[in-house]
Amino acid sequence: MAQQSIVTKNRIVPLDKIRNVGIIAHIDSGKTTTTERILFYTGRTYKIGDIDEGTTQMDWMPQERERGITIVSAATTTFWKGMRINIIDTPGHVDFTAEVERSLRVLDGGVVIFDAEEGVQSQSETVWRQADKYKVPRICFINKMDKLGADFEATVKEIEERLGAKPAVMVYPIGKEQEFKGVIDLLTLKSLIWDKDSQGSQYSISDEIPSDIKEKVLKAKASLIEKIAETDDSLLNKYLNNEEIPLDELKKVLRKSVISYKLIPVYAGSSLRNKGVQPVLDAIVDYLPSPTDLKEIKAINPKTGKVEKRRLINEEKFTALAFKIQLDPHVGKLTYTRIYSGVLESGSYVYNVNRNKQERVSRVLIMHANQREEIDKAFAGEIVALVGPKDTKTGDTLADQNNPILLEKISFPEPVISLAIEPKTKADQEKLSYTLQRLADEDPTFKVKINHETGQTIMSGMGELHLEILVDRMKREMGMQVNVGKPQVAYKETITKLTEGEGKYIKQTGGHGQYGHCLIKIEPLPRGSGFKFVNKIKGGAIPSEFISPVEKGIIEAKEKGVLVGYPLTDFQATLYDGSYHDVDSSDIAFKIAGSMALQDAAKRAGLTLIEPIMKLEVTVPENFMGVVIGDISSKRGKILGTEKRSRAVIIKAYVPLAEMSGYATVIRSLTEGRGLFYMEPSHYEEVPRNIIQAMINK
């Protein structure tokens, strides 16, 4: 317990001494290993967690420990040099991209980790773009410098070329692969060498620079100072006049450049071998922003619709963003929240601006992975978990009821794969609905729907691994035994031309009849636009209370699809005319008319199917390149190009997801077990006519 009390004892630190950072990277770059070292060196844990042994602090779920991957982002708090660092370790696997997205939304800074041999990989690019979207200042750590084929300079070059970043190289590695011993700090020209006995917690500092790299080190230092000087006019004058620039001035200007996204400091090391982690901790403290550096946030006033600003201080009105929901077996629903301004007390009420509801916060917790510690108050700049809110969802703004403002929501990608699921026994049907609802509350990229025609429950997610983990969690955490179908691709239907349609529903029975009549026009929209409804009724041809039922009818019909039964998307429906009956017209009649009108119009609108296309990257030894390219082409794949990296070749392609089932087994057998692949959703494309025909004839 002594371990945990550190948090509460030093918790209340000035705002400028807080750092909210996320560890982000491609799968297998060493995020969790680096986080475990950070916790050990900062005294948060007394033993280094090991992924292979399944003893990590941050990967606490049984599924994470068994597979050696991160599935959910875990939050923790630790201290370094008087600073409080709130860390979120995020997953690297593309199936869990929502975890990265929501973490980046609430972080002030990021540490991006790269594999020194692999360089900038696909998912590195994806998380980099996500960080760009939320304007997150970041530092880079080139990990695995001890790995065969590690190449520091080539990775820095890739960061510059592939990510469009401006790297400021802060350290120079001493040796590489098995010879990697430590780094040289380029600002001070000190050598840092880690010993083997202290698990990396001790290292020696000296002025000695190995003669074989001295020239490169001095050149790298000159280049670093030039890059820093270029971002500040007064420093540039000193630099051009060959004046000596004091170290603290260089650091101050570099900090400003990092916060304004002009420069990205780059460090090197090997987390697994316990080398090079402490300089990264120093960089988090020295260069990444505190809430005070960011000064304020912009949000919308829901009453006026105008943009308002809130300063990120305790004295301001309360504003927070719920960025993650987690179901805890001991305390129930946990709402992870970033507090931007004001103070939150346990036992108080907060106002959910998105849902227009008061929510009671019964307890406020500080999390260390899956351990928790109760606190009385949470302050601006903190990341805490709340117990109590019932209706709050991911991306909701919590605020002071008298001063509500609405923060920007978090956007998530659409699921690309689905499978049918049913309980092993009929008696469990209700339990299954409840279990799926709980999982959908936690994970915004997980969707559940019932196919009313077949009575099947369909769950959709970001990939096969995503769905596999969710089914596994149902069995373990919720004791739910289920049967699952084969994964199905999330096809969609769309239209290719503008047409009109009519829906007329007239039913005469004894007494009141039913009457609903509408005319609509449908037109295609660009890929990814979804569905838009436009009301152009003039002169009361349809009374205003029946407009919404028409829209509901169209939505219901589009969900069922017209061609093969997949949802219809990327089109606009315009309601422009119709008629009604004073007595017989009703909501239900217009809803049915809306549904009939869409089906009528869609049949003449050049219906076609679109399918998810995946961006595929396969890394193979050179001698297997031909056979792998041949296989990709046979899967309707489009080869984008190949790239050589050390002793391997990377093949890049676009491939329809429908052709990629069981690809892990295929690639293993084609390459004698030596091929690796990475796949992420890219876009939707039209399905070839012959395949559509085969699907219709089934």
Concatenated DSSP letters for 193-215? EE-SSSTTS-EEEES---GGGHH
**567 shares a domain with 615:** no
Q: What is the pLDDT of residue 23?
A: 86
Q: Average pLDDT of 506-532? A: 88
Summarised one tens digit per residue, pLDDT across range 619-678 is 888 888 999 999 999 999 999 999 887 678 889 999 998 898 878 788 888 888 778 787
Nearest residue to 411 (alpha-carbon basis) of 104, 92, 90: 104
Query: Which of the given ranges, 83-87, 334-338, 603-607, 664-668, has the highest pLDDT on average?
Result: 603-607
Burial 543-555 (b: 16+ CB within 10 A, else e): eeebbebbbbbbb
Q: Average pLDDT of 272-279? A: 89
Q: What is the pLDDT of residue 55?
A: 47
Domain boundary among 293, 311, 341: 293
CB 378 within 8 A of CB 290: no
- Binding-site positions read 25-32, 89-93, 143-146
Q: What is the pLDDT of residue 453?
A: 61
**CATH code of the domain in which 687 resides:** 3.30.70.240
**CATH code of the domain in which 545 resides:** 3.30.230.10
| Entry field: residues in the chain | 698
Residue 103's identity, in one-letter code, is: S
Map residue 98 onto helix, strand or coil: helix
**617 shares a domain with 648:** yes
| Residue 24 to residue 123: CA distance in whole angstroms | 10
**478 shares a domain with 337:** no
Q: Which residues, including other chains, have CB under 8 Å from residue 389's CB and lie 6 or more apart? A: 322, 333, 335, 350, 352, 359, 360, 361, 398
**130 shares a domain with 87:** yes
**167 shares a domain with 34:** yes
**301 shares a domain with 274:** no
In a domain, 244, yes or no: no
Please state at what angle helix 247-259 crosses helix 214-229, rounded to 10 degrees. 60
**16 shares a domain with 104:** yes
**318 shares a domain with 287:** no
CB 591 within 8 A of CB 516: yes
Q: How confident is the model at residue 454 (pLDDT cuts 50, 70, 90)?
A: low
Q: What is the pLDDT of residue 138?
A: 93
Domains held by the chain: number: 5
Backbone Cα Rg of the chain: 28
Q: Is the pLDDT of residue 4 over 50?
A: no
Map residue 8 onto helix, strand or coil: helix
Q: What is the pLDDT of residue 450?
A: 80
Segment holding 305, helix H or strand E: none
Summarised one tens digit per residue, pLDDT across range 387-428 is 988 888 888 899 988 888 988 877 777 787 888 888 888 778
Task: Encode 595-657 in three state secondary structure.
Answer: HHHHHHHHCCCCCEEEEEEEEEEEEEEHHHHHHHHHHHHHCCCEEEEEEEECCEEEEEEEEEH
**165 shares a domain with 41:** yes
Q: Average pLDDT of 356-385? A: 84
Percent of the chain predicted with pLDDT > 70: 90
Domain boundary among 556, 591, 606: 606
| Residue 577 to residue 520: CA distance in whole angstroms | 7
**270 shares a domain with 175:** yes
Give the rounded distance of the alpha carbon of 483 from its chain centre. 29
Q: Average pLDDT of 350-362? A: 91
Give the C-alpha distances (Å, rounded to integers) separating 698 from 573, 609, 641, 657, 660: 30, 15, 36, 20, 21
Q: Is the pLDDT of residue 173 over 90?
A: yes
Which domain does 192 fall in, by range?
2-210+261-293
In a domain, 584, yes or no: yes
Summarised one tens digit per residue, pLDDT across range 459-518 is 888 877 788 888 887 887 777 888 888 778 889 999 999 999 999 999 877 667 889 999
In a domain, 206, yes or no: yes
- Binding-site positions for GTP read 25-32, 89-93, 143-146
| Residue 489 to residue 613: CA distance in whole angstroms | 10
Q: Average pLDDT of 48-63? A: 51
Q: What is the pLDDT of residue 3?
A: 36
In a domain, 111, yes or no: yes
Q: Is the pLDDT of residue 125 over 60?
A: yes
Q: Is the pLDDT of residue 564 over 60?
A: yes
In a domain, 237, yes or no: no
Q: In terms of pLDDT, which residue wins out, 556 or 202?
A: 556
In a domain, 688, yes or no: yes
**471 shares a domain with 584:** no
- DSSP character at residue 307: E
Give residue 24's region: left, alpha or beta (phi > 0; psi -120 to 50).
beta
Summarised one tens digit per residue, pLDDT across range 6-42 is 344 455 678 888 898 988 887 777 877 888 888 888 8
Segment holding 385, helix H or strand E: strand 383-387
Q: What is the pLDDT of residue 168?
A: 93
Give helix then strand counts, H and E, for the chain: 18, 37
CB 341 within 8 A of CB 310: yes
| Residue 101 to residue 132: CA distance in whole angstroms | 11
Q: Average pLDDT of 47-60? A: 50
**675 shares a domain with 557:** no
In a domain, 349, yes or no: yes
Map residue 334 onto helix, strand or coil: strand
> SS3 breakdown of the chain: % helix, strand, coil, rounded to 5?
30, 35, 35
| Residue 266 to residue 418: CA distance in whole angstroms | 40
| Residue 499 to residue 495: CA distance in whole angstroms | 10
Residue 606's identity, in one-letter code, is: G
Instruction: Please provide the DSSP assignment of 23-76 as one string.
Output: EEESTTSSHHHHHHHHHHHTTS-SS---TTTT--SS--SHHHHHHTS--S-EEE
Report the chain's mean pLDDT, rounded to a whole number.
84
- 6-10, 359-363, 481-485, 592-596: least confident range: 6-10
Q: What is the pLDDT of residue 414?
A: 79
Q: What is the pLDDT of residue 1?
A: 29
